[in-house]
Structure 1
Amino acid sequence: MKYLKILLLLVLPIASYGQGYISTDYLSSSNFKDDNGNKYGSGSLMILSGRYTLPLSTKKNHAGQITAWAATLNCRYGIFDNEAGAKELNPDKILNGSINISHIRPITEKWSVLASLGCGIYAAPNDVTLKSILANGAVVFVYKLRDNLSIGVGAGLTNSYGIPMILPMGYLNWQSSGKYEIKVDMSSGLNVSASTWLTKKIKLEFTAIEIDGMSSVMDINGKSKIYSTMMMKSYASPSFHISKQASVYLGIGGNWLRSTKISDRSLKGFFDSFKDDENKYQFGVSLRLMAGIRFRF
């Protein structure tokens, strides 16, 4: 409850100017194994999340294309409840908080550019240092194939592995309208979902696949390392729309993958993160429950 109050204090004072959400996710306990199937205890996870986007400026040209600046505040707090070896190989708590400035601008009738730059804290709450502050950025060139389909390519910036690295990025956004709305979004992560209105107030959404994760800079035996966990989930989520500006939702589904990895913060550590080695573990399939509120003003 204490951490939920913190998120409310961060978001609500400025919510009247933008849009955002506050949510809670719970992943039930499951076995923690290595790639060979050896068990190292078990664990569950609770994630408190908040996101708020503040438009800084927005304007349209004669063709209806948008040029805009926005600031986005993200905050995720992970509380791990692990036992035995899982407790030794995973942190107890992770704080991921960041702020980004983003910009969208048309180049031609079909092409536009998306850019963002920001930084954040990725660490255990009681172990925040200068090394825990990570930068991120991206520049993506987007081509509008149809009114509801855009693809793009670009590059992203990160210093998660100690040195600044530029990595290739892809972009895909497709949405269908009608009684059943289908969405495929690869702008930040991956989300494939379908939704429909059951009544004027109740909307049902089914997410076939969604991928998210958390990370934390750690100091192990005097060496700076990066802990990362990636999660893949599917769920059904009914939402009740209190008004045009606010809705509450619940969600129930499965968390099919929760992998963990500890890597050196170096170029070699980056390439080693793609290899199968003794530092890779994962939790088994678990139940995932969600609840939250979305708002737009």
Structure 2
Amino acid sequence: MVIYCQFVEAQVQIEMKTEYIGKSDYRKSENEKSEKVGDSQGAAMVHQANMTIPLSLKLNENKRPTLWAISANGVYAKLANKNFTAPLVVDEILNIGMNLTHLRPLNDRWSILATIGGGIFMSNTDFSKAGFKNVLGNVGTVFIRHLKPNLDLGGGIMVNNSFGFPMVFPALYLNWKTEGKYAVKIALMQGLELSVGYDLTKNFRLNLIAEMNGQTALLQQEGKDKMFSHLYMIAGFRPEIKIGKKISIPLTVGMNLWRPAQITDRTLKSMFQDKEYYFRASPYASAGLKMNL
């Protein structure tokens, strides 16, 4: 499954965020049984920045956008792993990517979203060690059905080289939200995002949120191509401070509910293995900055 993002504002959007995931035990789940892996433990600090620049934007008579936009993102994750006696995890992840997106209406009810891009996915920050095997490319198309003014649902295909050769994956798109003093949002785009918010004042909103995010590192281990996946699902409270109309500061306090982190072979077969490694639940906190320029 691949997830898309949509950008329909005629402004440059910048977002920066730092996340802290607290220490917890590392476990192995296999054949419906779960056990602790020795005394292994881990925490994580994730720094990320995203920028989206609209190249052109036009609205038709139904307020549907025809858009060309370019986006860039960078993520650095530092994993504080302790007491590991086997190479089951990595200590650093660096992801840098760029995408070109085109969105246009097909008729009153349908739009098409196309994207092409790529990036570097490493298990360290030494660019001298980066090679072609650290590069992932992607191209895809999603058809979006406008079910209601505030509800879009879509599907399509995505082609990428996650397993070392081009493969086709399904792509899903969901965007539903309400506005007003109470605001609800459900989005399946760059990740999973659920939020229910209430405006306590003009410049302060309190949100109850649940999200899923993650990073990937491509590496070699014992002469074989490997992939390290680091995912985390969080839930908590997010106060958001608004400074004028263009700047907001979201702060989040809650729990990391589930954090799979494991190295797998870079093969299709690895998607169907029964064994999974993960960190248990732990405290979570983040601070961010959003700007529309």
- Residue in 1 that maps onto 2:22: 28
Distance 1:86 1:295, change over 3 A: farther
- Residue in 1 that maps onto 2:132: 130
- Are the counterparts in 2 of residues 261 and 273 from structure 1 also a CA contact under 8 Å? no
CA RMSD of aligned residues (A): 1.6
- Residue in 1 that maps onto 2:208: 206
TM-score, normalised to structure 2, is 0.90
TM-score, normalised to structure 1, is 0.89
Q: Distance in 2 between matches of 1:92 and 1:156?
A: 30
Tell me which protein shows more strand as a share of its residues. Answer: 2
SS at 1:273 equivalent: helix
- Residue in 1 that maps onto 2:91: 92
- Residue in 2 that maps onto 1:273: 271
- Are the counterparts in 1 of residues 12 and 53 from structure 2 also a CA contact under 8 Å? yes
Q: Distance in 2 between matches of 1:74 and 1:37?
A: 36
Shift of 1:177: 2.3
Q: Which moved more, 1:94-103 or 1:55-64?
A: 55-64
SS at 2:107 equivalent: coil
Counterpart mapping for 1:50-199 below 5 A: 50-85=49-84, 88-124=87-123, 125-126=125-126, 127-199=129-201
Deviations 1:253-295 (A, max 9, x none): 1001110232222xxx223223213xx2100101011011110
Say whether 1:287 aligns with 2:283. Answer: yes
Deviations 1:5-63 (A, max 9, x none): xxxxxxxxxxx960121110000110011113132410110000100000001111233
Q: Distance in 2 between matches of 1:235 and 1:77?
A: 23
Kindly provide the amino acid, as one letter, of the partner of residue 154 in structure 2: G
Distance 1:17 1:171, change over 3 A: closer
- Residue in 2 that maps onto 1:233: 234
Identity, in percent, stands at 33
Q: Distance in 2 between matches of 1:152 and 1:249?
A: 28
- Are the counterparts in 2 of residues 205 and 236 from structure 1 also a CA contact under 8 Å? yes
- The runs of at least 4 consecutive aligned structure 1 residues that moved more than 4 Å come to none
Distance 1:286 1:86, change over 3 A: farther
Q: Distance in 2 between matches of 1:177 and 1:289?
A: 26
**Structure 1: tracts of 5 or more residues without a match:** 1-15
- Are the counterparts in 1 of residues 192 and 212 from structure 2 also a CA contact under 8 Å? yes
Distance 1:61 1:43, change over 3 A: same
Q: Distance in 2 between matches of 1:248 and 1:192?
A: 18
Kindly provide the amino acid, as one letter, of the partner of residue 139 in structure 1: T
Shift of 1:175: 0.9
SS at 1:271 equivalent: helix
- Are the counterparts in 2 of residues 263 and 270 from structure 1 also a CA contact under 8 Å? no
Q: Distance in 2 between matches of 1:44 and 1:165?
A: 33
SS at 2:133 equivalent: helix
